[in-house]
Each structure stands twice: as C-alpha cells, then as structure tokens.
C-alpha cells in the first residue's frame, strides 16, 4: 500500500511538471504565431511545423500520457524488483525534462528569439543523458520493458548481462564524446556516435549468441 501511495505521488508530481510548459505557452499565447516550428535540423533551421494549439498544449499533453504509460508499465512489470532504483528515477523524470526542453525551444523560437546552435544543444543534452544511462545500464536485470531488448538478450540471461555491461561502457564513452563535441562541433559526429551505440550492442549480442550455439553443438 505504501509503495502504491509513493508511486501515486511521484506520478502526480511528474505529470504536473510535464504539463507546466502549457502555462508558459498560455502566458505568451497572444505573442505566439498561429503556425509554430516544432522540429529543427542540426543547423537550427525549422523543418517541421504545427498549429499553436498543438505546439503549446498538444506536445506536453502527449508527453504526460507517455510519462504515465512508462511509469505504470515499469511498475507493474513482474520483474520490477530487478530495476535499479536510480534507473527508475530516470524513467520518472525523463518526460518532464524533455517537455521543458521542447517547450523552451518552440516557445522561444515562436517569440522571435535566436536559438543556440542545435548541434551544440543536441550534443550537450544527449551527452549527459547517455552518460547517466550508461552508468546504470549494467545494473538492469532481465525484464520486459527496460534495457536492450533483442531476441538474444531475451532468450539468454547471460547474453543480457554481458550485452548490458558492454553497452553501458560504450554509452558512457559515447556520452563523453558527445559532451566533448559541444566544444569541438565536428559535423555529423552525433549521428555517427548514435548509430554505433545502437549497432555495436546488437552485433555483440548476436555474435555472443552464435558463439554459445556453436559451443553447444561441439
């Protein structure tokens, strides 16, 4: 009962914080254009647009729903006890942070302010995020919702553990590279790092599975 009470308080708090950017948008409502930029390329040029209603109200509302779903699904997972508590805090707070990050960009641009170069913002935000995730990834035990979900990690607990240990180190290194790129600004480095961070654990998990299968056949 106590756990459910604590979960309810956390969900209520994170939902309120996720939705608070709506209040900021309403304060500046009359100063915002009817058509607002909600997506930008790496040079900071808008390449995706929506109505003011969707940009101010729709995006935080969608993130609030995603936040509720992620929280409920992870808390009701039969293997919930395998999640590190600090990793759970990341699940709870990622949507509120993203909501404010997106609102800050869309509302600021809508008010006519120049954006900080998008590559720098992306490197900083993603770098911090991946260093945090990479630090806790090896501690995530086999479960249904959180972690690197591949056929080989699901079918073999040893594969899951080894893949997550390797991926954790890789993601920390990738995050540090992205943070360094905040200053270096090497074009295309973010995309290359993200592809490697997804691709390498997948290949590693598959190769480890193949190796175990061959050993069983010998």
pLDDT for position 143: 77
Residue 35 has pLDDT above 90, yes or no: yes
What distance in Å separates the CA atoms of residue 167 and residue 202, rounded to the nearest whole number? 9
Asked if 171 and 133 touch (Cβ cutoff 8 Å), the reply is yes
Question: What letters, b where the CB count within 10 A reaches 16 and e where it falls short, cover 137-166?
Answer: bbebebbeebbbebebbbebeebbebbbeb
The three-state secondary structure class of 146 is coil
Asked if 60 and 21 touch (Cβ cutoff 8 Å), the reply is yes
Residue 1 has pLDDT above 60, yes or no: no
What distance in Å separates the CA atoms of residue 182 and residue 195, rounded to the nearest whole number? 18
> Looking at residues 179-205, what average pLDDT do you find?
87
DSSP string, 95-138: HHHHHHHHHHHHHHHHTTPPPPPHHHHHHHHHHHHHHHHHHHGG
pLDDT for position 119: 58
Residue 118 has pLDDT above 70, yes or no: no
| Percentage, residues of the chain above pLDDT 90 | 42
Q: Which is it for the CA torsion 114, 116, 119, 125, positive or negative?
A: negative
User: Which residue in 102, 119, 118, 7 sits closest to 60, CA to CA?
Assistant: 102
pLDDT for position 197: 93
Residue 27 has pLDDT above 50, yes or no: yes
- 149 pLDDT tier (thresholds 50, 70, 90): confident
pLDDT for position 79: 65
Q: Compare 74 and 169 and report the one with higher pLDDT.
A: 169
Read off φ and ψ for residue 88, nearest 5 degrees: -65, -35
Residue 122 has pLDDT above 90, yes or no: no
User: Which residue in 195, 48, 55, 25 sits closest to 126, CA to CA?
Assistant: 195
Question: What letters, b where the CB count within 10 A reaches 16 and e where it falls short, cover 69-81?
Answer: ebbeebbeeeebe
The burial class, CB within 10 Å (0-12 / 13-18 / 19+), for 36 is: buried
Q: Look over the chain and give the mean of its residue pLDDT values, rounded to a whole number.
A: 85
| Percentage, residues of the chain above pLDDT 70 | 89
pLDDT for position 2: 47
> Looking at residues 50-55, what average pLDDT do you find?
94
Asked if 22 and 93 touch (Cβ cutoff 8 Å), the reply is no
Structure tokens at 211: 């190796």
Q: Compare 25 and 39 and report the one with higher pLDDT.
A: 25
Q: What is the pLDDT of residues 84-101, one digit of tens each?
A: 676 777 778 889 988 998
Domain extents in the chain: 1-115, 117-218
- 199 pLDDT tier (thresholds 50, 70, 90): very high
pTM of the model: 0.66
**Lowest mean pLDDT: which of 35-39, 40-44, 121-125, 174-178?**
40-44
């Amino acid at each position: 009962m106590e756990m459910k009470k604590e979960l309810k308080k956390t969900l209520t708090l994170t939902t309120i914080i996720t939705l608070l950017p709506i209040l900021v948008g309403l304060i500046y409502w009359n100063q915002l254009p009817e058509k607002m930029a909600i997506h930008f390329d790496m040079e900071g040029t808008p390449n995706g647009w929506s109505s003011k209603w969707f940009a101010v109200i729709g995006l935080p509302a969608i993130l609030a729903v995603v936040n509720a779903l992620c929280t409920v699904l992870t808390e009701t997972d039969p293997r919930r006890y395998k999640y590190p508590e600090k990793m759970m805090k990341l699940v709870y707070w990622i949507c509120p942070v993203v909501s404010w990050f997106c609102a800050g960009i869309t509302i600021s641009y809508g008010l006519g302010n120049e954006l900080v170069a998008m590559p720098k913002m992306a490197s900083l935000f993603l770098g911090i995020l991946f260093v945090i995730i990479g630090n806790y990834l090896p501690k995530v035990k086999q479960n249904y919702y959180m972690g690197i979900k591949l056929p080989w990690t699901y079918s073999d607990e040893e594969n899951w553990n080894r893949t997550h240990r390797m991926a954790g180190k890789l993601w920390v290194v990738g995050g540090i590279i992205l943070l360094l790129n905040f200053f270096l600004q090497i074009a295309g480095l973010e995309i290359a790092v993200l592809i490697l961070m997804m691709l390498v654990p997948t290949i590693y998990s598959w190769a480890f599975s193949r190796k175990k299968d061959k050993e069983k056949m010998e």
